Amino acid sequence: MAAADKALIRRSLMPNAFPRPALRPTRRGGAPRSVLLIMALAFLATGCSDLFGPSSDRPFQNLRCSVSESELFAGGPPPDGIPSLENPTFVSADDSSVDYLFGSDRVIGLLVDGEAWAIPHNVGWWHEIVNIDFPSGLQVAASYCPLTGSSLVFDREAAGGATMGVSGVLFQNNLVMFDRGDPSSLWFQMAREARCGPADGTRLDMVPSFEMTWAGWTELHPETKVVTGNLGMGRNYRSYPYGNYESNSQLLFPQPSVDSRRPMKERTLGIPDVEGSGGVGFPFNALADAEPGPVAAVHASARGRDVVVLWDQRAGGAMAFDARIDGTELTFSVEEDRIVDTQTGSTWRVDGLAVAGSWEGRRLDPVAEAYVSFWFAWMAFQPDAELWEPEASAS
């Protein structure tokens, strides 16, 4: 791959790399970011006292949490002030209502019931949680926190199938959800469990998801369904409401510590340990440096098993998979810009599908707990995690 081409691809991995039309949120679409910032700063002086106090008009009165109240902040909007979505309409990728998406926009991709589904970050900017009930009975909450850049999809079974809403509370700059079956329980997105209320300590199972660009997802899954832009919510889904937040080095709320080994808001695929604060983090630009071409395959040990992380620069996406199929341990490498297993020479895509060779048509099992977030947020929630870098892997 030519150096100029690789430089262009690397640029596409950085937040806000491609210019957008100069569109501002409408009055119905929500407050401009400057207004939200003023609201956030106003709340900093009191933390969440207006949310957690004993008064009967406070939404989370007398709530017991396993984290200190001083670590919780009111993000500005009240509970449901940022409205989650409940079973929004999905349409085909070529539907006219999908004109809000650019190829470089990022989406959360799901493979459920034999079909591909996409929840764009553009929708997450304005709603943060999309509750979906699939025909098979699977009930999920697809969540995206714009402040931590974190995409996690949860099975709602642990919450009794109740839909999730945006609480208006932040922990480590990260989304805190509440479930409508028991609004006094608060679920911390990147902790993947409840930390306040009766459900404190209850873990939410994750559903495997793929985060990449819209262009990358549709190339892999041209038949995908995607959330319509005609949601009737008065939002402009082309307009990013957080200014230059993704590309600057500022945070809106206090952060106890920031790991400075990587750029603060570099997207990172993280695989947390089964228990505790460890795991392995794979920064996107480190993965881009792993091979001279557009794809990479990285073997690692995570969650007590051997995994392989597959990376595709063109799609700006990475995912972790069990390195076994039908009990056979596979070793992956890159040949002529293709990911292949050395056992059979089969060719594999970044979403774990074999597209040529003996394994054609088979899929690797994804690591459900793997997710993408900004580097600072990954290390805030998994402070003992290892940092994967090409140099460390080669040594």
> 376 — phi, psi (to 5°)?
-60, -40
Tokens 């400075």, located at residue:
260
Q: Is the dihedral of CA 129, 137, 111, 308 positive or negative?
A: positive
Distance CA 385, CA 271 (A): 9
Q: Which residue's entry shows tokens 């119905």?
A: 28
Torsions phi, psi of 236, nearest 5? Answer: -100, 100
> What is the arrangement of strands in the sheet containing 174-179, beginning at the earlier edge strand?
72-74, 164-171, 174-179, 182-188, 193-196
Contacts of 42 (CB under 8 A, 6+ apart): none
CA angle, residues 133, 194, 153, in degrees to nearest 5: 35
Please name which of 283, 242, 28 lies closest in space to residue 121, comparing C-alpha atoms: 242
Q: Which helix (H) or strand (E) holds 38?
A: helix 33-44
Distance CA 382, CA 142 (A): 21
Kind of pairing between the strands at 139-145 and 150-155 = antiparallel
Cα 76 from Cα 130, distance rounded (Å): 20
Predicted local distance difference test score (pLDDT) of residue 161: 98
Residues 336, 340: Cα–Cα separation, whole Å: 10
How buried is 358 (Cβ within 10 angstroms: 0-12 exposed, 13-18 middle, 19+ buried)? exposed
Q: Report residue 60 CA to chain centroid gap.
A: 26
Q: Could you tell me the domains of the chain?
A: 33-220 (no CATH), 267-394 (2.102.10)
Residue 391 has a pLDDT of 77
DSSP states of 46-94 as a string?
TTTHHHHSS-TTSTTTT--BSS-GGGEEE-SS-TTSS--EES--EEETT
Token readout for 321 is 């998979």
How many residues would you count in the chain?
395
CA distance linking residue 216 with residue 312, whole number of Å: 9
What is the model's pLDDT at position 22? 32
CA atoms in the 13 A half-sphere facing the CB of 288: 23
CA 316 to centroid of chain Cα atoms: 13
CA dihedral 266, 45, 187, 203 (to 10 degrees): 70
pLDDT, residue 392, reads 60
Query: Phi and psi at residue 158, in whole multiples of 5°?
Result: -65, -20
Whole-number pLDDT of residue 61:
63
Task: Note down pLDDT in tens along the chain; length 395 residues.
Answer: 444 444 444 433 434 332 333 333 332 334 444 444 444 444 443 344 455 544 444 556 678 999 998 899 998 889 999 999 999 999 999 999 999 999 999 999 999 999 999 999 999 999 999 999 999 999 999 999 999 999 999 999 999 999 999 999 999 999 999 999 998 899 999 999 999 999 999 999 999 999 999 999 999 999 999 999 999 999 999 999 999 999 999 999 999 999 999 999 999 999 999 998 999 999 999 999 999 999 999 999 999 889 999 999 999 999 999 999 999 999 999 999 999 999 999 999 999 999 999 999 999 999 999 999 999 999 999 999 999 999 766 54
Count of beta carbons in the 10 Å neighbourhood of residue 56: 7
DSSP letter at 146 equals T
Residue type, 274: V
Task: Look at the alpha carbons of 78, 153, 191, 31 in this order and tell me if their dihedral is positive or negative.
Answer: negative
